[in-house]
Amino acid sequence: MTIEELLRQGPDGARIRSARLADGVATVVADASGLAEAERSAFEQRLKAQASGLSQVREVRVALTAAKRGPKLIAVGSGKGGVGKSTVSTNLAVALARLGHKVGMIDADIYGPSQPTLLGTSERPEARGKQLIPVDAHGIKLLSVGQLVSEGHALAWRGPMASGALTQLVEGDWVDRDLLIVDLPPGTGDVQLSLLQKSRPAGAVIVSTPQDLSLIDATRAVDLFRKLSVPILGLIENMAGYDCPHCGQPSDPFGSGGAETAAAELGIPFLGRLPLSATLREASDAGQPPAGGTGPAADTFRLLAEKLLASLDTAAA
């Protein structure tokens, strides 16, 4: 029986990754993921004691490894601008936090950052060394380029500069978060590619209006995520009609049901629809996400968040 097989029979056997014996020196590699510093030390001492008790072993060398753990990234994208992607991202994040998750928000819409406005914060993040510390807002944590530049100033950045800014946001201090919502810019350009290639989201949500033009562009976003092997968690139809405030009759200025039909054709989950709402617009402009309150909008975003989590679990299975 090899030394690796003998060590695997011990109390910490499941954590043994490899072990070999050469010239009386036992070299043991073990997984210490999730162990606090004191637990790591005790774990190492146990391994040394166990290996030292084996015949022909005169010296024991232990190397402890730990899998890098971090929040699951969920990218929220759209094929075009003007579909309400950022508003949906904000309220999904707040709804997920109200369901008990520790949520972070990255405003990756480098050229049009709107999350500080939507979350009602002007606080600038501090830096610890080269790492940014997210700020608190409505029960979630936020990092946005909008916190780093003066209000109203244009960002005339080329692709590499924008990608570098995104990297700095993603590498912020998210250690205590379990979900990280990334509000992507519209389209399928450099920023999206940088995120997908470097950070590998656990899944993506697509936001579209019911009209054909928006759905055509949303299909391109789906194609990008699929080409880079990112699971599509679902499609959300925004601006899906409204009730006329004067006559009370329903109206569908952007069409009806197009996103649900497109989701079926693309073979992706349809998470639900959001109607046009003056209340949602007013609350968003005021930096008060409706998902953090009560009423129909809060209920709708809670249901969307629950469906998103179910889809995330399915994608991870």
| Residue positions forming the annotated binding site | 79-86
117: which 2 tokens?
Answer: 């406005």
Name the residue among 139, 40, 129 with its Cα closest to residue 96. Answer: 139
Strand stretches in 224-305, DSSP E: 232-237, 242-243, 250-251, 270-273
Coil, helix or strand for 177?
Answer: coil
Annotated binding-site residues for ATP read 79-86
Q: Give the Cβ contact number of residue 158 at 10 Å.
A: 8
CA-to-CA separations, 49 to 28, 41, 44, 53, 66, in angstroms, rounded: 12, 12, 9, 6, 21
296 — phi, psi (to 5°)? -60, -40
Q: Which amino acid is at 109?
A: D
Do the Cβ atoms of 63 and 51 come closer than 8 Å? no
